[in-house]
Amino acid sequence: MEESPLADLLAAIDKLDVDAVLALCAPECSLMTTDGGHAEGEHEVGRLMSDFLATLRSTSHEITAQWHQEDEWIAEVLASYELQDWLRLEHLRRAFFVRTGPAGIRDIRVYGANERRLGDRVSGQGPMRIGGRLVLPL
């Protein structure tokens, strides 16, 4: 299989390196996270990614399955996080969809099995928590 831009993206995230993430992205890139976060364009994607990474001491993503069709990469991922307060969240299931173009990654969509039900969501409430635990968006 050819080199995966999705694997490169996860490696940059695991290094907590916003600049490396943005270097993989096209200027018009968009990002959608599991907690409903959405960003359009390099500046906003960088801001959303910076906000996410600032909550972490470390992170790791393990690709357990991956598919590639034309310009789209899809992966099942196990995500683990260590938060700034030392709380560890391990083996959270994620599905990543990455679309590429000539200038790099143009769309990132992340889905997870840990989101709240829509009725539980309060706009402007801050980070999403379930049972007091922070649910991270990537």
pLDDT at 127: 63
pLDDT at 3: 82
Strand 38-40 to 25-32 pairing: antiparallel
Per-residue pLDDT at 85 exceeds 80: yes
pLDDT at 81: 93
Please state, for a pLDDT cut of 70, what percent of the chain lies above it. Answer: 80
Contact between residue 130 and residue 116 where contact means Cβ atoms under 8 Å apart:
yes
Please state, for a pLDDT cut of 90, what percent of the chain lies above it. Answer: 72
Instruction: Name the pLDDT band for 50 (thresholds 50, 70, 90).
Output: very high
pLDDT at 113: 77
Contact between residue 60 and residue 67 where contact means Cβ atoms under 8 Å apart:
no
Domains of the chain: 5-134 (3.10.450.50)
Per-residue pLDDT at 91 exceeds 60: yes
CA–CA separation, 126 vs 134, rounded Å?
Answer: 10
Instruction: Name the pLDDT band for 118 (thresholds 50, 70, 90).
Output: very low
pLDDT higher at 77 or 117: 77
Least confident of 22-26, 38-42, 128-132: 128-132
Radius of gyration in angstroms for the set of CA atoms belonging to the chain, rounded to a whole number: 14
CA–CA separation, 14 vs 8, rounded Å?
Answer: 10
For the four alpha carbons of 28, 33, 38 and 42, in that order, the dihedral sign comes to negative
